[in-house]
Every structure is written in C-alpha cells, then in structure tokens.
Amino acid sequence: MFVAIIAMLVFLLRGLRKGNYKLIHRLYFFVTVTIIIWMLGVIAANFVDPSNEEMLRICDAITYVGGAFAPVFSLLIALAFTLGLEKLPKKYYLFFILPVVTNLIAWTNPHHFLLYKHFSVYGGAVIFGPYIYVTGTFSYVCLLFSIYFMARYALEMKKKLITQQAVLFCLGSLIPSVVNLLATIKAFDLSIATTPLGFIATVALHGYAIYHYHMLDIKPIAMQKVLDWISDCYLVTDDRGMIIDCNRPFEKIFAQYGMTRGRRLEECVNAEDIENKTVVYNLLAAAASCRESLSVISFEQSAFMGKQKLYFMVDLTPLIVDGMLEGFVAIFKDVTKLRDGMQRLHDSQARLMEQERLASLGQMVGGLAHNLKTPIMSISGSSAAIDNLIDECVASIGDGEVTEEDYREIYFEMRDWLSKMRDACAYMSDIISAVKGQAANISADAQVDFTTDELMKRVSLLLRHELQKTSCSLEVVNQAGEEIRVHGDVNSLVQVINNLVSNAAFAMQDKGGGTIIARFAVVEGNLRITVEDRGTGIAPDVRNRLFRQMITNKGTHGTGLGVYISNTVIKAKFGGRMWAEDNPGGGAVFGLEIPPEYYSKTERIRQEASAQ
C-alpha cells in the first residue's frame, strides 16, 4: 500500500509539473488526493492497538475525507465532461456543504453519536446513527447522476477513440468490482486494505486514459460501471414505475421477483406479494408515499437468495427535475451481517446477564441460609413453649387451686408465642419472595409497579447477612419528599442495587465497616438513585473504563461483570444511565437515573398532597 501511495504521488506530481491543466484535470487530481488520504487512514488504523478506540475513531474519521468528497468530485467531473466547463460555477460549490458537514460529524461523533451510536472495528458490532443514511443517500445520488451524464454522452460519441477509452474505464471498474465481490462473499481471507488497493487499478487505468488518449481534453465517458462496484443494490424507475436501470447485485437477488429492465413494478405484483409483503409490494407502497410527500421513504425489506435470508434497509428517493417528479431511485443497503451481529451481541449480553444473576444469587445463598436460621429457631422455640403451656393446662384440669384467671393467663401466653411465630413466618415469606424474584430468568421481563420502599426492603433482606459480615449498615435517605412508584422489572432493579450495595460493603470492610447510604432524589425530572460509601474509592484507571469494559477494583475477588451488566440493565430496561464519581468525604458514589416515563408519584401521595 505504501508503494501504491508513492506511485500515485509520482503520478500526481508529473501531472502537476506538465502545467496547462484544465478544470477537469484539477478535479481528477482532487479525486487522487482523496484516495491517497483514504489509504493513509487505513494504513494508520493497521498500526493502532485494537483496544485504543479513540485512535481508531480518528483513523476512521480520516477515511471520510475520501468517502465523503469522492462522490462529489465524480459528479463534477461528469458535469465538466458533458457541459465542457472551463470554470466551476459558484453554485456548484454548494455540493461541498454536505461532505464538509459529514467530516465535522465524523470528527465530533463521540459528542452526539449521529454517525455511529456504537463504533467498533468489527462490522458486526457497529451500530450506525441516523446521519449515516443522509450521507449514504447523498453519495449514491451523486454517483447515479455522474454515471447518467457520462453514459448518455458515451452513447452519442460513436468513435474508435471513445471505444478505447471505454475499454480502459471498464477494466478500471472491473478490477475493484471483483475485489469487492471477493471481499463481500469472503472467498478469501482479505484484509480491510484490499478494497482501497483495488482502486489503485482504477487510478492507473483512468490516468492512462487521461494522458495517453487525452481523455480529459475531449470529454469522453468515465465511471460507466461505478455502481457495479458496490455490493449494495440500486434500482431506478420512472414516475410510472417502469424499471429503467439496476446494478448486478440487484439482478442477482431480485430478478426472481420479475423485476428486470423494461418491466413495470405493477406487472410484477401477484396475490402472494400482497399477502407476504414482498419487495415488489413494499416498493409500490413506498413509491406512492414518496410521490405524495416528495421526500425519502425508508423501510426494511427481507428477501431470499436461495435458502439464505437477507435483510436490506431500503431508501426510496424521488428524482425531481425542474420541479417535476421524473422517477425514483431505490438504494438497498444490505444489513444482514449487521443484523446478525446485533442479534449475537444481544444473545451474548443476555447470557452475561444470566451468569451475573446466578453468580449473585450463589453468593447470597450462604447469607440467606443464615437469615432463615433465626426465624426457624424462633418458630421452634415458640412451638416448644406452646407445647409446655398445653401440658401445663392439661395437668391442671380438675385442680381446684387453678382458677379461671390462671387459665386466661396461660391462653394469653400461648397467643403471644403464636404472634411471634407469625412474625417469623412473615419474615421467612419476605425472604423467600425476594429470593424467588431473583431466581426468575433475567429474560422474563415482568413489568410491575413497585415503590422505592418495597425495592429497598428486598435489598435489605437479601444483603442482611453480607452487611452484618462486613460490619456495615444500610441507610435509606428519601430526598424526593414523597414516596416514588417505579414501573418496570423490579427483579432487575433489585439486582442492580444489590450489586452496588455489595460493592460498597466490600470496599468498606477493610476500614472496619460503616454506613452505606442509598439516596433517592428527583433531579431535573429524573429519578436519581445513588449508593454512597466511605471505602477505598475507585482507582483512576478503573474509573475511566467503568461501564464500557468489564473491569473491577476488587482484584482477584471480582470480575467487573456486575457493574457492566448493571449499566446494560438500566439502559435497556429503564431507559436510564449510570455513572460513578468520588465521594467528597472519601470513598465512591455510584448513581443511576431513571427518566420520568418509568416512575410516578403514588396515588396515595397525590391525595395527601391535595388534602394539604
């Protein structure tokens, strides 16, 4: 790749040294520069540590110089070819607005996540943001119109020289197309650098056409096959639904539905399409909506290629010329791998959450056995006392010295022992209910209403032994001024609070224990729950990676899975977020926020407030 960059630089410098180059030459030079920058970004990414996400983002942002500007330069080259432009009109500079915005968004993505919601060097783990569809649609539209202008001009020019130039451009298109196809079907173990290397042939062959056949001087065709390079599918129809053009990937997948050049979409529809919502039916429905709104319509579409089921994100764009609707362009973005990757990620997270739940439950078993021992002994002692009172009552039958008052005293004592047994049974029932909730499958999302008091009661029951063992106590502080009722999966939230309180107890045990504060407050409309300790605190290197990696401050006593899974649970099941910070008085504060749609004031509190 270094050799290729040097070769392109030499080619570029030779072209610049010749001088007397026209607008079309300058535009081609800019295309070459963008490809060089793209390759430099790929090279830099290969030398970056895969765990250094910040540097990988920077390398990815560098590649957008080529990805965003190359389609615009391609369109301008086509316009210069066909219109014979010697100077770029000022209005054409408007084409650069979106590429500039795209690069700004790429560099600032960690602040707004418009381009990537989750960035990764692995394709299956990437989650795109909404802006990717804007820049993608813009790029495809630029390429479509550039090919249209050049192809139309080529049909008008029937000369041998034009044919020779067309052959060079076909070869320049074929080589990267084959490379891209092999990379797509994974025929060989190809690196991420393979695709940009394929474009070296394009630069070389097109450059030969430029300087050997003086292509740019006589404005011949270029980039005739550009849309066959890409693995995504595209379809062009007129305003009546007549299929005007499509690329090879589209034909390979969708020709089985009868969608070929020269046919109307209505001719491809049958009763089965309407019933099963196939691509033909959905395209017709989207075209009707697009015709009314004159805006881009997006939808997800599935299709079979043999026995393999593929998924596409389809963008249907209206083609408006001089204020009139002339047709539609449909871009089919293959998201099968992305969808499969997201499903694998979801399954992996579900397994991790289940493992953490079982591990947490296993750690509590010993403490729960100790907690149950006390009420069991109380019931046993109470039953023995009642048994003794019964024996005393039976023995006193017929004894004249035993008065009615004596019997009444015995009965009162029996009732007192029975009351103690009921209290012990109620305590055991609460423990069993709490354990039963935590033993439920984590995927069984039980949406219920529960108060913060009920939440902390379960936490206290489950962690009572662990708190005693670490000489810690749990204090609940409600700064909301009133009771809060939360709507959601109570067992999942109990697991999260359990993990935070357990971590706090572990951090404080080396300091002889102390008070752990669970604080509830409403801040800017969100329910905020914090767990504060005065333990050893959080190491700076651990804090920087919390919630993003499975990392722990416990050394060999922990895995870091608990906090990582807790953050996932709060995001997925309560739409909230988690954070950690230093406690001003020493120790750490772990907090979470739940948005207003997941909690409310109880009806009882509302009525009391109204009465006051």
Same domain, 287 and 381: no
In b/e form, how buried is each residue of 325-350, taking b as 16+ CB within 10 angstroms? eebbbbbbbbbeebbebbeeeeeeee
Q: Which of the pair, 328 or 561, is modelled with greater confidence?
A: 328
- Cα-trace Rg, the chain: 35
Q: Return the DSSP state at 258.
A: T
**In the predicted structure, residue 461 carries a pLDDT above the cut 60:** yes
Residues 76 and 154 in one domain: yes
Residues 6+ apart with CB under 8 A from 436: none
311 & 330 share domain: yes
CA distances from 589 to 561, 571, 586 (A): 18, 19, 9
Question: The tokens of 406 are what?
Answer: 């004596």
The residue segments making up the domain with residue 308 are: 232-334
Residue 226 and residue 242 in one domain: no
Residues 182 and 91 in one domain: yes
Residues 261 and 319 in one domain: yes
* Rounded mean pLDDT, 158-179: 54
Question: One-letter amino acid identity for 543?
Answer: R
Identify the top-confidence range among 22-36, 145-159, 506-520: 506-520
Residues 192-199 have a mean pLDDT of 57
pLDDT at 591: 92
pLDDT at 94: 93
Instruction: Give, in order, the Cα–Cα distances in Å from 199 to each of 70, 75, 149.
Output: 12, 18, 22
Question: What pLDDT is stored for residue 611 in this prediction?
Answer: 41
Pairing of strands 514-523, 472-478: parallel
Query: 23-46 and 53-83 are packed helices; what angle lies between their axes, rounded to 10 degrees?
Result: 160
User: 270 and 292: one domain?
Assistant: yes
Average pLDDT over residues 462-472: 84
pLDDT band at 506; cut points 50, 70, 90:
confident
Per the structure, how many domains does the chain have?
A: 4
Q: Quote the pLDDT of residue 276.
A: 55
Q: Residue 609 and residue 612: Cα distance in Å, rounded?
A: 5
Contacts of 314 (CB under 8 A, 6+ apart): 282, 283, 286, 298, 299, 300, 301, 330, 331, 332, 333
Specify burial of residue 375 (Cβ count, 10 A radius: 0-12, 13-18, 19+).
buried
Examine the pLDDT at 494 and tell me if it is beyond 60.
yes
pLDDT of residue 515: 92
* Residue 586 DSSP code: S
Query: Which CATH number is 516's domain given?
Result: 3.30.565.10
Q: Do both 430 and 466 map to the same domain?
A: no
Residues 426 and 487 in one domain: no
* pLDDT-above-90 percentage for the chain: 8
Give the global pTM.
0.39
Out of 120-134, 137-151, 302-316, 598-612, the most confident range is 302-316
- Among 425, 443, 461, the domain boundary falls at 443
244 and 297 in a common domain:
yes
The answer on 1 and 131 residing in a single domain is: yes
User: Cβ distance 88 to 76 under 8 Å?
Assistant: yes
Residue of 41, 53, 11, 45 whose CA lies nearest to 29 = 11
Q: What is the band of 350 on the pLDDT scale with cuts at 50, 70, 90?
A: low
Given this model, what pLDDT does residue 410 score? 82
- CATH of residue 250's domain is 3.30.450.20
Mean pLDDT of the chain: 75
Amino acid in position 400: G
For the cut 50, the answer to whether the pLDDT of residue 219 exceeds it is: no
Q: Choose the final residue of a domain: 281, 305, 334.
A: 334
Between 127 and 93, the more confident residue is 93
580 and 533 co-located in one domain = yes
Final residue of a domain: which of 278, 311, 334?
334
Task: Lowest mean pLDDT of 63-67, 165-169, 201-205, name the range.
Answer: 165-169
- For residue 607, is pLDDT > 70? no
DSSP 587: S
Look at residue 17 in the predicted model and tell me its pLDDT. 66
- Among 130-144, 150-164, 467-481, the range with the most confident prediction by mean pLDDT is 467-481
Closest by CA position to 476, among listed 460, 493, 496: 460
DSSP 435-477: HHHHHS-TT---EEEEEHHHHHHHHHHHHHHHHHHTTEEEEEE
Most confident of 295-309, 357-371, 389-403: 295-309
Please report, in angstroms and rounded to a whole number, the separation of the first and last CA atoms in the chain.
77
- Opening angle at CA 314, ends 310 and 240, nearest 5: 120
pLDDT tens digits, residue range 419-443?
Answer: 878 877 877 777 676 666 665 544 4
Please state whether beta strands 472-478 and 447-451 pair in parallel, antiparallel, or not at all (unpaired).
Answer: unpaired
